[in-house]
Chains A and B, each alone.
Chain A
Amino acid sequence: MSSVFALVDCNNFYASCEKLFRPDIKHRAVVVLSNNDGCVVARSKEAKALGIKMGVPAFQIKDMIHKHSIVVFSSNYALYADMSNRVMQTLEAMSPRVEVYSIDEAFVDMTSVDRVMPLSDFGYQLKDTVAQYTGMAVCVGIAPSKTLAKLANYAAKKYPAIQGVLDLTDRTRQRKLMAMTPVNEVWGVGGKLTTRLAALGITTALDLADANPKQLRKHFSVVMEKTISELNGESCLELEIQAPAKQQILCSRSFGEVVTDKHIMQQLVSGYIARAAEKLRYERQCCGHVQVFIRTSFFRQGAVQYSNAASTRFAVNTDDTRVLTRAAMSLLDVIWKDGVRYAKAGVMLTELGDQGVVQQDLFDTRQADGGKKLMALLDRINTSAHGKAWFASQGQQSPWTMKREHLSPAYTTRWMALPLVR
């Protein structure tokens, strides 16, 4: 039986979450800023209409914010995560197979639905129910492959005449849409690939669909071959119902103020390691590789620009904060340069494996049971309501926490922050 997928994607998700509890700003332009109030990560449709681009640094649009009275929010992850769960639960109640693809989008299995009702009718049911239950507006793209469902969703968002639900199961319609869609809108075709594809004369999605898959596989990879099949309506990517274990854990921040002192940088990096290691243990994984990176701001023109990273591999995979911190500190020594105004730093843990499948080192006895017990205790303390425990290398926990000046209340996750009604 041929598969049918729907991609359900929330419109301007972060901005919509903020607006839901603020009826007073229903028609105002809203932007949401990234960690540390750095860049614009979400825009309401009014903000998009003003021409505010995704990813633009907040300080660059200061005048616009003032001039158009744009409402600015810091990222309220507690709120977005709760609203996301509500959307996903609503979808899961309507379809037995749902793949949560990201915080604001999910693939829904619609195979055989057309025996009961037209696909677009079910699409509207998904859309209307999510809107009624959660207040979130979504678009629905329906197609025989995930890549085409993504494309259908893109069209449903881009062309208001479609009214939010597009059934793209018809081959003629698929080809018509692909002919007017630039190839970089195809799922998995990013910036660099676009340039290389252009060199081969492939500029629209339809050009790619009609390209010779075997030939492109030689130029690119097997992924590109699959993309071509998917564009031709042949499903190669199954629903991934179970969230795959993370392939990497990244913890990085832009600083609220510039860092020039190595001691402070050591504390910050220690903090990121502690956070990343906590995530690692939460996912029941160990890592084999750690990278530390530091850099200046790309946006401060004229200042000395510096960016560097260093990494190391462990003899034995580890989840021990002490081992990771020791490694990160020596890596920082390698890349640190005095006299530079640092704006961002981070750590990345890769080569992740299950805790159960750690390759032991014959000569390394550090990773004994004592470490496991200590880390388990540390996590228990830090997830409890009673207090925090941290490593001395992280320093005192104060001015270096995230800057979130425009944070909205945790309306749905804190009793003290509930919306008020008159």
Chain B
Amino acid sequence: MHISLLGKAGSFALRLIPLFLERVSAGFPSPAQDFVEKTLDLNELCIQHPAATFFVRVSGDSMIEAGIFPGDILVVDRSLRASHGDVVIAVLDGEFTVKELALHPAPMLLPRNRAYAPITLGNDSELEIFGVVTRSIRDIRGQR
């Protein structure tokens, strides 16, 4: 057997191919028949790397100005490398926290709520990042 490595599987974009189904039937043909596609799957939209995707629930209000509210479910993709400006799940004092990551001018975790102060990270301190937040899911009716 020959194997050639093309690169990490995770680095390839998901390619969506529309599925056209056509059946020939007796009687009057439906004008919509040629346009039938598969139904939309929310997983496909929200999850690029299933094996690396975790869900967490928000319990604080430190990110409300970024549209992340208590009770929201966040989609966290561990396969992504966190970069400046990403919303991340980090470990702070033995707890998970959701914050915006700033790498310059100095490494910081930024709350998106004016009532909270930015968390500066010393140059020698090690920040553990659990994963990068890619989506937020809110129950709109449940908020009433």
Contacts and interface: CB of A to CB of B under 8 A. Distances in A.
A323 B22 CA distance: 49
Contacts of B1: 1, 111-112
Interface stretch (B23-31, B35-43, B49-57, B100-108): B49-57
B89 interface: yes
Interface in B114-140: 128, 130
A419 interface: yes
A43 to B, nearest CB: 21
B8 interface: yes
A133 B11 CA distance: 13
B59 interface: yes
A116 B5 contact: yes
B interface bracket (residues with beta carbon within 8 Å of A): 20 to 34
Interface in B1-32: 1-5, 8-10
B47 interface: no
Contacts of A192: none
Given A112-B1, A113-B5, A421 B78 contact: no
B9 A94 contact: yes
A interface bracket (residues with beta carbon within 8 Å of B): 20 to 34
A23 B96 contact: yes
Interface in A122-145: 122, 125, 129, 132-135
A38 B94 CA distance: 29
A132 B94 contact: no
B5 A93 contact: no
A96 interface: yes
A180 interface: no
B78 A23 contact: no
A307 interface: no
A25 B96 CA distance: 12
Contact of A420 (B3, B50, B57): B57
B73 A418 contact: yes
Given A418-B73, A421-B74, A86 B52 contact: yes
B95 A90 contact: no
Nearest to B81: A132
Contact of B94 (A26, A133, A412): A26
Given A23-B91, A90-B51, A421-B57, A116 B96 contact: no
B8 A112 contact: no
Main secondary structure of the interface of B (DSSP, over half): mixed
Contact of A86 (B10, B51, B56): B51
B80 to A, nearest CB: 9
B78 A24 contact: no
A117 interface: yes
Contacts of A422: 59-60, 62, 95-98
A54 to B, nearest CB: 28
Contacts of B130: 135
Nearest to B3: A112
Nearest to B80: A132
A93 B51 contact: yes
Given A90-B51, A113-B5, A420 B98 contact: no
A79 to B, nearest CB: 12
A89 interface: yes
Given A90-B51, A132-B78, A133-B78, A421 B58 contact: yes
A142 to B, nearest CB: 15
A93 B6 CA distance: 12
Given A86-B51, A93-B10, A418-B56, A133 B79 contact: yes
Nearest to A417: B57
B5 A412 contact: no
Contacts of A25: 94
B59 A24 contact: no
Contact of A24 (B3, B94, B98, B128): B94
B5 A421 contact: no
A23 B96 CA distance: 7
Contacts of A418: 55-57, 73
B97 A421 contact: yes
B59 A134 contact: no
B78 A135 contact: yes
A224 to B, nearest CB: 29
B76 to A, nearest CB: 9
A25 B58 CA distance: 21
A328 to B, nearest CB: 41
B112 to A, nearest CB: 13
Interface of A: 1, 23-26, 85-87, 89-90, 93-94, 96, 111-113, 115-117, 122, 125, 129, 132-135, 412, 415, 418-422
9 contacts: A23-B95, A93-B9, A125-B8, A132-B78, A419-B56, A420-B96, A422-B59, A422-B62, A422-B98
Interface of B: 1-5, 8-10, 49-52, 54-60, 62, 73-74, 78-79, 89, 91, 94-98, 128, 130
